[in-house]
Amino acid sequence: MTIKCINKKTYVTQPLLPDINNFVRHVEDIWESKWLTNMGAKHNELENQLQDVLKVSNVSLFNNGTIALLTALKAMNLPYGSEIITTPFTFAATPHCIVWNNCKPVFCDIEPNTMTIDADKIEDLITPNTSAILGVHVYGFPCNVEKIDKIAQKHNLKVIYDAAHAFSTEINGRGIGTFGDITMFSFHATKLFNSIEGGCLTYNDETLKRKIYNLRNFGIQSEEIVEDVGINGKMNEFQAAMGLENLKIFREEQNKRYILKSIYDSNLSMVKGIRVPQMPDYTTNSYQYYPIIIDDDYPISRDELHEKFNTMNIFTRKYFYPACHDYECYKNTLSVKLSNLPVVDDLKQKVLCLPYYGSLDSAVANTICEAIKSGKQ
């Protein structure tokens, strides 16, 4: 069977956009109020609605996920120069936020199925200088939160989670943002739920609310008092308006991605050399990404399959390649030189994220599956 190039470029994701007329009505409200930023009415309404959607006690909005994660680490009051155990199989922002907080990332290997930090390998990396664990719910797969919690309690460590891929994910009916000390969600345009740019922190400890509020607003407590060395992390009203409208439709988008997942699963689950990771039974799927693993017994390599799709006008993503410990800014650090990361080093060469968004035509999805099943360059 000949696999043809498709006419229209197909990307790995596409931003969720609401009805433009509904968004314009929010813009008219903003024009009328002349309140553009600094925790306005739209901002506060979005915080309240997200609290219910994410099933969390506290939500603090930010202008993007990176600033939110920077602030989360800052709010934990971690010792200067201390070590934070994290995963190298993540987006660059994760370790960057550690370094920007004057701490040191220590990279831990990952589990082969969920591709999240391997909780069984964390304790071997703990030293007297370790202050925290930063887990990442990669592709929405949850970290082993129970094991991580036990390790953290045993060694008196803080636990921060990067849930950029896990919007609305639940474990046994519990919002994923309720685990650990603090969790970051990203609302970037590439995410299932977006506010153009944006993000939030969720946490159980009510006393963190005031500190986070101050930190995201330059540390300003009042007109005459600056209490902390803060940053400008405030979400503006236009971002919040986009978020309010996308909250109305993200479930519909998930349902469409569920159908798309069914097409992929049914076509690819029996292809020799292709592994399709699946969520644990007790976990809801955020439907953020659709990763496959190209094993050694598949006829061509991951990179060759990636290039094959490029020639077809289909743009998949080698996500995450390179891994963070391969970056020039980290690879010569002592912790990386001493690291032992065989699973990461294997999977970074094998994972490929396929196009995955609600408006993707099923015919294109089937073309993608046929290209994979053909097993030819």
* Angle ∠(193,73,289) on CA atoms, nearest 5: 30
pLDDT tens-digit map of 1-43: 456 667 789 999 999 999 999 999 999 999 999 999 999 999 9
**Residue 221 pLDDT exceeds 90:** no
Do 182 and 261 fall within a single domain? no
For residue 105, the cross-strand partners are 84
User: Given this model, what pLDDT does residue 375 score?
Assistant: 84
- Per-residue pLDDT, 126: 98
Does 29 share its domain with 110? yes
Mean pLDDT (the chain) is 96
CATH number at residue 156: 3.40.640.10
Query: What's the CATH number where 311 sits?
Result: 3.90.1150.10
The stretch 334-345 carries a mean pLDDT of 91
**The pLDDT of residue 4:** 66
Is position 340 within any domain? yes
Give the tens place of pLDDT for each residue, 129-162. 999 999 999 999 999 999 999 999 999 999 999 9
User: By residue range, what is the domain housing residue 178?
Assistant: 20-247
Residue at 7 is within a domain = no
Give the mean model confidence (pLDDT) for residues 55-64: 98
Residue 168 is predicted with a pLDDT of 97
Contact between 272 and 292 under an 8 Å Cβ cutoff? The reply is: no
Give the residues across from 117 on adjacent strands.
Answer: 110
- Rounded Cα distance between 104 and 130, Å, is 9
- Tell me, yes or no, whether 11 lies in a domain: no
Task: Indicate whether 269 and 235 sit together in one domain.
Answer: no
Q: Do 103 and 141 fall into the same domain?
A: yes
Residues 169 and 53 in one domain: yes
Q: What is the pLDDT of residue 1?
A: 46
84-102 residue pLDDT tens? 999 999 999 999 999 999 9
Residue type, 271: V
pLDDT single digits (tens) 254-311: 999 999 999 999 999 999 999 999 999 899 999 999 999 999 999 999 999 999 999 9
278 and 204 in a common domain: no
Under a CB-based contact definition with an 8 Å cutoff, are residues 63 and 236 in contact?
Answer: yes
The answer to whether 56 and 168 are in contact (CB under 8 A) is: no
Residue 6 lies in a domain: no
CB proximity list for 366: less than 8 A, separation 6 or greater: 263, 267
302 in a structural domain: yes
Q: Which of 199, 231, 247 is the last residue of a domain?
A: 247
Dist CA 246 CA 121 (whole Å)? 39
> What pLDDT does 267 receive?
97
- On whether the CB atoms of residues 216 and 60 are closer than 8 A, the answer is yes
> Do 32 and 147 belong together in one domain?
yes
Query: 279 is written with which tokens?
Result: 């969520």
| Residue 144: closest CA among 129, 124, 159 | 159
Is the pLDDT confidence value at 377 over 90?
A: no
Residue 131 included in any domain: yes
Q: Report the number of distinct structural domains present in the chain.
A: 2
Q: Predicted confidence band at 81 (pLDDT cuts at 50, 70, 90)?
A: very high
The full 3-state SS of the chain, as one line of letters, equals: CCCCCCCCCECCCCCCCCCHHHHHHHHHHHHHHCCCCCCCHHHHHHHHHHHHHCCCCEEEEECCHHHHHHHHHHHCCCCCCCEEEECCCCCCHHHHHHHHCCCEEEECCECCCCCCECHHHCHHHCCCCEEEEEEECHHHCCCCHHHHHHHHHHHCCEEEEECCCCCCCEECCEEHHHCCCEEEEECCCCCCCCCCCCEEEEECCCCHHHHHHHHCECCEEECCEECCCCCECCCCHHHHHHHHHHHCCHHHHHHHHHHHHHHHHHHHCCCCCEECCCCCCCECCCCCCEEEEECCCCCCCHHHHHHHHHHCCECCECCCCCCHHHCCCCCCCHHHHCCCCHHHHHHCCCEEEECCCCCCCHHHHHHHHHHHHHCCC
Cβ–Cβ < 8 Å for 286, 165: yes
In a domain, 5, yes or no: no
Are both 300 and 213 inside the same structural domain? no
Res 335: pLDDT = 84
> Are 230 and 259 in a shared domain?
no
pLDDT digits (tens, 9 = 90+) for 316-331: 999 999 999 999 999 8
Q: How many percent of the chain have pLDDT more than 70?
A: 98
Q: Choose one of 247, 280, 303: the last residue of a domain.
A: 247
pLDDT for the residue 7: 76
Is the same domain home to 267 and 226? no
The pLDDT tens digits of the residues spanning 276-289 come to 999 998 999 999 99
Per the domain annotation, does 3 fall within a domain? no
Q: Of 247, 266, 300, which residue constitutes the final position of a domain?
A: 247
Same domain, 234 and 342: no
Residue 85, both tokens: 């155990």
Backbone angles phi, psi at 326, to 5 degrees: -85, -15
Check pLDDT > 90 for residue 196.
Answer: yes
How confident is the model at residue 6, as a pLDDT? 74
- Whole-model pTM over 0.75: yes
Does one domain contain both 160 and 276? no
